[in-house]
Amino acid sequence: MSVDLVLKEAKVYIGGRVIDAGIAIDGEKIVRIAKEVNLPSASEKINLNRTFILPGVIDVHAHLRDQDLSYKEDFYTGTCAAANGGVTLVIDMPNNKPVTMSLEALKERMRIASRKTVVNVAFYSAFPEDINEIGQIAHAGAKAFKTFLSHKVGGIDPNDEDKMINAFKEAAKVNLPVAVHAEDGSLLLRKFKEVAGRSDIEAYLEVHSVEAEVKGIRRTMRIAERSGTHVHVCHVSTSEGLRTILREKSRGISVSCEVTPHHLLLSEKNLKRIGNIALVNPPLRPLSEVLYLQWALENGLIDIVASDHAPHAFKEKDASSVWDVSAGISGIETMLPLMLTMVNKGQISLSTLVKVLSENPSRIFGLKGRGQIAEGFYADLVVVDLKREWTIDPTEFYSKAKFSPFDGWRVKGKPLKTFVNGVLVMDEGEIVAKPGCGKIIR
């Protein structure tokens, strides 16, 4: 037997261990993991010089934009950015223009994406106005629903508790999770009125408070219990929010959670120093919260780390009133390097990294055949040099949003090559695949 490709002389992360081995790939899949002498012959061989092969990163939270928001990002630039960051599968958020909230809107996004993506892309949908459409949206291949408690995105007013519960129940019927942006809308509004006339970052933090997140998460847990739906809490940024989730989980509520690299590594102090480029919802928090999230990550209490890649045009970040600034961080290219740096510093183990970036995302979002390195699995892989030290330079991003609160950070650990469905897509920072080679994951 001869296969398409053999990756040889590597350190392969498999089943929680790192072994000296190679990987044989045929078509889209891994067919053999073995010592070199035991690998089949291949049309092409790549010597990896003893660098690591990890499962490709699955980023369950990214805003790829495109359509009427293409000036911020499009499927090509966003997925090139993903590949550059070692990400092989992205789940795309629905707060687009038009909002992904109907069968037609979802199909149209899939159609546009299929010609442009260089990594695999799956889709969230917002809830449609008529919840009877939830079944069709699931049938067309949405992998999850997304709702914001902070404001209305999609067809359902988040303040309407009964409608929300019914929508969650419909999602449960088609076996899809619901991801929640859990900042409580009524509390945000009340605080916003209290700070009337102020437009500084302090006022912003008073509105987007710890309490707003905790209240949102408590409500999310009640909805989870009443509906019986699996809920996934996006970008948890507070210790009390996370403790609430952990308590409910231990009571048997079906819930998972994610944190972002920026909430793990940056605090309110960075926001005040850096300004608008670090403005994001939920905002950066006091250092005590950051340290709790780091502790929780290494202790296995956080299911997923996701980028919340939220690119904006520079002029949208550059407003004088904080209320006019678009919130969000261009984070998909820095997530894996920052996490590898945490591994190098001894803050987390390599197995925690693989769990939160690949294994758990695959399990929680039902991405069959992906998220680990195993025979029969898709060859979605990232080759990393764990020892390479370099400096983050956002002007080199593939994302259209070429600015970052991590600008100038020294990091240790670099994605060298990204393979998607067995195809080399990124090689030493260069995109070497054609647009459209990524797949739509239904």
Select the binding partner of residue 362 from ligand DOR, Zn ion, none (C-beta < 5 to 8 A, by kind): none
**Among the listed residues 108, 227, 112, the one whose alpha carbon sits nearest the alpha carbon of residue 162:** 227
Find the binding residues for ligand DOR in span 15-74 (CB under 6 A).
63
With respect to ligand DOR, which residue has the nearer C-beta, 29 or 72?
A: 72
# residues contacting ligand DOR (CB under 6 A): 8
281 binds ligand DOR per the rule CB under 6 A: yes
Catalytic residue among 308, 385, 393, 427: 308
Taking CB under 5 A as the criterion, the residue among 29, 109, 181, 439 binding Zn ion is 181
Taking CB under 6 A as the criterion, the residue among 53, 205, 310, 441 binding ligand DOR is 310
Find the binding residues for Zn ion in span 195-254 (CB under 5 A).
234
**Among the listed residues 185, 306, 174, the one whose alpha carbon sits nearest the alpha carbon of residue 229:** 174
Angle ∠(234,238,241) on CA atoms, nearest 5: 70
# residues contacting Zn ion (CB under 5 A): 3
322 binds ligand DOR per the rule CB under 6 A: no
Taking CB under 6 A as the criterion, the residue among 11, 116, 181, 262 binding ligand DOR is 181
Taking CB under 6 A as the criterion, the residue among 95, 102, 244, 372 binding ligand DOR is 95
280 binds ligand DOR per the rule CB under 6 A: yes
Select the binding partner of residue 280 from ligand DOR, Zn ion, none (C-beta < 5 to 8 A, by kind): ligand DOR
308 is catalytic: yes
327 binds ligand DOR per the rule CB under 6 A: yes
216 binds ligand DOR per the rule CB under 6 A: no
Residue 90 to residue 435: CA distance in whole angstroms:
15
Helices 210-227 and 239-250 pack at an angle, to 10 degrees, of 20
263 binds Zn ion per the rule CB under 5 A: no
User: Is residue 358 exposed (0-12), middle (13-18) or buried (19+ Cβ within 10 Å)?
Assistant: buried
Q: Do residues 336 and 382 make contact, with C-beta atoms less than 8 angstroms apart? A: yes
Q: Do residues 22 and 60 make contact, with C-beta atoms less than 8 angstroms apart? A: no
Residue 266 to residue 327: CA distance in whole angstroms:
15
Residue 322 to residue 235: CA distance in whole angstroms:
21
Residue whose tokens read 């001894």: 346
Select the binding partner of residue 327 from Zn ion, ligand DOR, none (C-beta < 5 to 8 A, by kind): ligand DOR
Report in angstroms how near the CB of residue 400 gets to Zn ion at its nearest: 17
233 binds ligand DOR per the rule CB under 6 A: no
Residue 133 to residue 170: CA distance in whole angstroms:
9
308 binds Zn ion per the rule CB under 5 A: yes
With respect to ligand DOR, which residue has the nearer C-beta, 328 or 405?
A: 328
Q: Do residues 86 and 384 make contact, with C-beta atoms less than 8 angstroms apart? A: yes
Residue by residue, DSSP assigns 56-92 as: PEEEEEE---BTTBTTT--HHHHHHHHHHTTEEEEEE
Q: Do residues 378 and 370 make contact, with C-beta atoms less than 8 angstroms apart? A: yes
Site string for ligand DOR, 392-411 (x = CB under 6 A): --------------------
- Binding positions for ligand DOR, rule: CB under 6 A: 63, 95, 181, 280-281, 310, 327-328
Q: Which residues are catalytic?
A: 308
Residue ranges that bind Zn ion, judged by CB under 5 A? 181, 234, 308
